[in-house]
Amino acid sequence: MAKQSIKFSCSNCNYITLKWIGCCPECKEWNSFIQLEQPILTPGNKTLSGSSKPLVMKSLNQVSMTQQQRMLTGISEWDNVLGGGIMPGSLLVLTGDPGIGKSTLLLHIAYKLAKKYSVFYFSSEESLEQVKLRALRIQSVHDNLLFSDQAQIEGILQTCQEQKPNVVVIDSIQNCFFSESHSFPGTVGQLRETSFALMRLAKEHNIAIIITCHITKEGQMAGPKTLEHMVDGVFYLQGEDRWHTRILRSVKNRFGPINELGFFAMSSTGLEEVPHINQYLLDEATDAPGSVLVGCLEGSRPLLLEIQALTVPTKYGVPQRVVTGIDHKRVVLIAAILEKYLQIRLSSHDIFVKVSGGLKISESSSDLGIALSLLSSYFQQALPKKTMALGELSLTGNIKAINGVEHYIREAQKFGISNIFVAEQQKTANSCKKLKNVYQLLSLFDASEEPIEK
């Protein structure tokens, strides 16, 4: 008989050790080791125990495919982020900060789906009375939408296997547990077991399952990393308090694009769609010195964002560089390019740059807009109303063309934005103002005047 060796495996990175340790030396995760028991193969024992049979292998030409119809909720912001609706048999995770509106959004989705499909809603965190109060407030009560406040995973599995609903919502996975397990709900071991059981339920019975998951203080999804690898989609619900706006972001999606965004507005009747988010963004835009519009492509949606810059002569020995929404090093690099070729002493100025609206820009297409906003603030001269800049800056001071510029221009023309600056080599069918290098930026300002200091 094969020897039994006690080993411990990290549930986050699968690191193996012969004894239990508190912190994983590989991924630095705490309390992530679980005990494993597996036979050690010796020269006299080269076969595994059990009656296993050879597997039947197939070529892809032998695999039959069935066209599955996605389940549409009618909430376009949700359906677009998922890639066109919920795929049957998929396991999806919705996560976000506490109180951001995860339960409210799922209740809206379950109510819409219940008009066409059978939907089970398991509320493991709240009682049915609490769920009913929310459902009445947001007017999401339907006879085909059935609820339960049980958190035992065996009961959930048996109920779904017998009644076979089309959609199952579990809020949240951290409170579900196996009764035979000795660990507490929400621990790494419980999360691995419950998520694996739900994955098998979704795949074997073709049931779409949506679960909510808690978030850590670092802003990441709580639980073992294997949970993210196991599920079909991970979606983050983020908030912008100034507008009471909620942003649904696709981080992983096996059935659609990633980095797709959906926008919702929190109101007294729940979450409402914001299909024309660029209108909200442009309403906040100003025509003051240091303000320029740029384009940012999130998934398939072009966003028109305002970059605001402020340059002030430094009063201390080391100038400050405070940047929000853009990579700090990118702003420092662009300031160095302007100082090198235009002889503008930005190194002796404090620089403050932010993206209005609380969004983040990671694309190099905003380089030209950052440069114009810095010059506009330095000379204290505002650019023409609703000026938009689309271009990348090279270290040699040239302005380079970007990809997908037509998406930004078409979106900008919907709102009457016609003063658009692009690179000279940019191929576009629209009439834009083309710039070759940073030297031509000075022609947009009266550089003969000294910057105004107040």
Q: What is the mean pLDDT of the chain?
A: 85
pLDDT at 43: 47
* The CATH number, out of the four listed (3.40.30.10, 3.30.110.40, 3.30.70.100, 3.30.230.10), of the domain defined by the range 279-444: 3.30.230.10
**Mean per-residue pLDDT for 7-33?**
82
Q: Which residue has the higher pLDDT, 242 or 93?
A: 93
Residue 447 pLDDT exceeds 70: no
> Would you tell me how many other CB atoms lie within 10 Å of the CB of residue 306?
21
pLDDT at 8: 83
pLDDT at 241: 54
Summarised one tens digit per residue, pLDDT across range 403-433 is 888 888 888 888 888 889 999 888 886 778 8
Residue 283 pLDDT exceeds 60: yes
**What is the DSSP code string of 378-411?**
HTT-PPSTT-EE--EE-TTSBEEP-TTHHHHHHH
Residue 92 pLDDT exceeds 50: yes
pLDDT at 243: 57
Q: How far apart are CA 270 and CA 133, in angstroms?
A: 12
Task: Please enumerate in sequence order all residues whose Cβ is within 8 A of that of 450, keeping only pairs 6 or more positions apart, or say none.
Answer: none
Residue 309 pLDDT exceeds 70: yes
Band of residue 51 on the pLDDT scale cut at 50, 70, 90? low
Band of residue 178 on the pLDDT scale cut at 50, 70, 90? confident
Domain extents in the chain:
3-40, 76-275, 279-444
Q: Which residue has the higher pLDDT, 119 or 1?
A: 119
pLDDT at 261: 86
pLDDT at 42: 45
Tokens of residue 233, six digits: 């989609």
Residue 337 pLDDT exceeds 70: yes
pLDDT at 40: 43
Residue 453 pLDDT exceeds 80: no
Summarised one tens digit per residue, pLDDT across range 251-278 is 999 998 888 888 888 888 888 888 888 8
**Mean per-residue pLDDT for 122-129?**
90
Task: Please enumerate in sequence order all residues whose Cβ is within 8 A of that of 443, keeping only pairs 6 or more positions apart, or say none.
Answer: none
Band of residue 452 on the pLDDT scale cut at 50, 70, 90? very low
Say if residues 212 and 170 touch (Cβ distance below 8 Å).
yes
pLDDT at 182: 66
pLDDT at 46: 46
pLDDT at 271: 86
Percentage of residues of the chain with pLDDT beyond 90: 39
Residue 41 pLDDT exceeds 50: no
Lowest mean pLDDT among 174-183, 288-297, 314-323, 414-423: 174-183
Q: How far apart are CA 99 and CA 266, in angstroms?
A: 11
Which among 426, 418, 430 has a CA at the least distance from the CA of 384?
418
Band of residue 238 on the pLDDT scale cut at 50, 70, 90? confident
**Mean per-residue pLDDT for 441-451?**
72
Say if residues 228 and 234 touch (Cβ distance below 8 Å).
yes
For the domain 76-275, what is the CATH code? 3.40.50.300
